[in-house]
Amino acid sequence: MEIEPVLQNKSVVIIGLGLMGGALAMALRKERPDWIGAIDTDSEVLEAALDRGVIDQGENDAEGAARILAQADFVYFCLYPRTAVNFFKTHMGDFKPGAVITDITGVKQILVDEVLPILRDDVDFIMGHPMAGSEKEGFGGADERIFLGHNYILVPMSQNDPDHIEWLERVIYNMGFTNIVETTPEGHDKKIGFTSQLCHVIACALIDCKEERHLSDFEGGSFMDLTRIAMINAPMWAELFVSNREALLSQIDDFENSMKTLRGMIENSDENGLEDLMFSVRKKRVTMEIDRKNRTLAIENQFKHNES
């Protein structure tokens, strides 16, 4: 089945052409937009993207940015949280009237507090968060395949146009995501504090707590799996952790309570208690695995249905 391209007759601007912005540009190209522009401070990245045909135009300064924003029907913010806020403040006057704007920022409260109050009435900013990534960094590591089968969180507000939300959902599915879930800014920050940020804190702590050399001689798959995300983009995650401080601290504390329970059982050689806890854990995690497989299957069946 050919999926209908949803960007025909539209101009797109990506702000921040890093790992995610680059991958989004590659995926959006298949939706046949009239034109893709990118704004990034790194002119070498823009040149590389132009050479590879990922974008049609790149701008690395405020004037250039203003020029291409004025033509963009669809704008994707792919910046760290504070940089995104600052860019919105600087360029609020530059968006094309009627533009649909979205973002991939890993925390949302900061946007609710600092962007929504100053947002122009004639643009529609729909907040979102693709739950996909890679241990690589920057445009050089960008690969649109990282989206396939992943979740995408949308954080719609009452002021968003339902038609724009529906259109954005089509864009997201066409890029390969298989599940879109909606939540509030608070719900987003809390859940992401758990499923994403806490996991990164744990992976870092696991690597940080040992000085031993030759540790890799003793690793099985588990240790490598748990620490893959410790190949971390340090400045970005430092900013994300601090931007979502309260929610993340509360998630760390919940995790630490479970660690204490497990530690206590081990200390008391409470094999029955450990077995009961692990039976229940196994059941919960297996359910998640099945949920995920069913979701992927549902999407595949939908495609098949559309095909016939």
Residues 164-203 that bind a copy of itself (CB under 8 A): 179, 181, 183, 191-192, 194-196, 198-203
Nearest to 243 by CA among 280, 196, 181: 196
- Considering only 51, 93, 158, 216, the residue that binds a copy of itself (CB under 8 A) is 216
Which of 104, 103, 112 has its CA nearest to residue 157? 112
Per CB under 8 A, contacts with a copy of itself among 62-81 are none
Out of 215, 298, 300, 301, name the contact with a copy of itself by CB under 8 A. Answer: 215
Q: Given candidates 269, 305, 306, 307, which one binds a copy of itself under the rule CB under 8 A?
A: 269
Q: Is 256 a binder of a copy of itself (CB under 8 A)?
A: yes
Q: Does 280 bind a copy of itself (CB under 8 A)?
A: yes
Q: How many CB atoms lie within 10 A of CB 123?
A: 15
SS3 of 64, please? helix
Rounded to a whole number of angstroms, the minimum distance from the CB of residue 173 to a copy of itself is 15
Stretch that binds a copy of itself, among 28-36, 53-61, 207-215, 299-307 (CB under 8 A): 207-215
Q: Distance between CA 100 and CA 10 in Å, rounded?
A: 11
Decide: is 232 part of the binding site for a copy of itself (CB under 8 A): yes
Question: Quick one: which segment of 9-17, 37-45, 58-66, 254-262 binds a copy of itself (CB under 8 A)?
Answer: 254-262
Assess 207 for contact with a copy of itself (CB under 8 A).
yes
- Please report how many Cα atoms fall inside a 13 Å half-sphere around the Cα of residue 253, on the Cβ side: 7
Closer CB to a copy of itself, 93 or 235, in the complex:
235
At its nearest, how many Å lie between a copy of itself and the CB of residue 277?
6
What are the tokens at 217? Answer: 């001689």
Q: Which of residues 139-168 bind a copy of itself (CB under 8 A)?
A: 150-151, 153
Nearer to a copy of itself, 71 or 151 (CB): 151
CA-wise closest residue to 154 among 125, 127, 177, 187: 127
Least separation in angstroms between CB 193 and a copy of itself: 10
**Nearer Cβ to a copy of itself (215/298):** 215
Task: For residues 120 and 96, give the distance between their C-alpha atoms in angstroms, rounded to a whole number.
Answer: 11
Number of residues binding to a copy of itself, judged by CB under 8 A: 89
How long, in residues, is the chain?
A: 308
Task: Determine the interface stretch with a copy of itself among 56-64, 72-80, 170-178, 277-285 (rule: CB under 8 A).
Answer: 277-285
Taking the complex as a whole, the smallest distance from the CB of residue 182 to a copy of itself amounts, in Å, to 10
Would the CA dihedral through 129, 135, 137, 142 be positive or negative? Answer: negative
Please report whether residue 205 would count as binding a copy of itself according to CB under 8 A: yes
**274 contributes a contact to a copy of itself by CB under 8 A:** yes
Q: Which of 148, 278, 297, 298 binds a copy of itself (CB under 8 A)?
A: 278
Shortest CB 121 distance to a copy of itself, Å: 31
Q: Give the C-alpha separation, 90 to 93, whole Å.
A: 8
CA dihedral 169, 175, 177, 183 (to 10 degrees): -30
Q: Which of 125, 83, 81 is nearest to 102 (CA)?
A: 125
Q: Can you say how many angstroms the Cα of residue 70 is from the centroid of all Cα atoms in its chain?
A: 26
**Alpha carbon distance 147, 152 (integer Å):** 9
102 has which bridge partners? 76, 126
